[in-house]
A = this chain, B = another copy of it.
Amino acid sequence: MAGTATTQERILDLAQQFIQERGYNGFSFRDLANGVGVKSSSIHYYHASKTHLALAVTSRYRKNFAAATAQLRKEIPAAPDLLKAYAQIFKSTFEDGKKVCLCAMLASDRDSIEEAVTDQVRAFFADQYGWLSSVVTDGISQGTVRDNVRPDDFAVLFFSALEGAMMVANANDRSADIDLVADQMIGLVLQTA
């Protein structure tokens, strides 16, 4: 399962999974150590504190997400198809073990987390707004998106709705809600609607 992965990678993988499933306050160094198969002191060897661990996980998540969205940009030309593919990233994350967005979890736990982590969460949100906004702007130029749609505002709407959809999908065990939400929003801005 994690045959070639280093201990360091397996720690980050499981920490990310725990935050996505239980939140920052929902797991301990011991849980992590047990899952990885080492002692909790070994976790401290790699990450001085829980805050440092959260920062490492968040920074990696942000980087991976940026790579994935950049790749979509290279492969898919039409804006509506890009939005659909973007929503599929969220849906896949959810179906891969009923996990919601890492940064949504950390944003929820904000009041019990150090500010440096929230800074990373905000940076992730800004990344997403930038990508979505540029996709919509291109869509208007292409003629695939209605020209009365405001890219920055729609980016906030699309992203918020997707994050909210993951939250309710998780509570209701209904991943189809993610498609339901994404498809409605894409339909509403389509030039041909």
Binding site for B on A (CB under 8 A): 21-23, 25-26, 100, 103-105, 107-112, 118, 121-122, 125, 153-154, 156-157, 159-165, 167-168, 170-172, 177, 180-181, 184-185, 188
With A and B bound together, what is the CA distance between A109 and B91 in angstroms? 19
* Chain B residues, CB < 8 A from A165: 156, 160, 164
Number of this chain's copies in the complex? 2
| With contact pairs A154-B184, A161-B160 given, residues A167 and B25 touching in the complex (Cβ less than 8 Å) | no
A-B contact pairs, 16 of them (CB 8 A): A22-B25, A22-B109, A25-B26, A104-B164, A104-B167, A107-B168, A107-B170, A157-B161, A157-B180, A160-B168, A160-B177, A161-B164, A161-B181, A163-B164, A164-B167, A188-B188
A105 to B121, CA, bound (A): 17
Specify the main secondary structure of chain A where it touches its partner: helix
Is there an interface contact between B171 and A156, defined as CB atoms closer than 8 Å? no
Given A125-B171, A164-B167, A172-B122, also A109-B159 (CB < 8 A): no
Chain B positions within 8 Å of A110 at CB level: 170-171
Known contacts A104-B108, A105-B108, A121-B171; can you find 6 more A-B pairs with CB under 8 A? A22-B25, A23-B25, A160-B161, A160-B168, A164-B167, A188-B188
Given A111-B22, A112-B22, A181:B160 Cβ within 8 A? yes
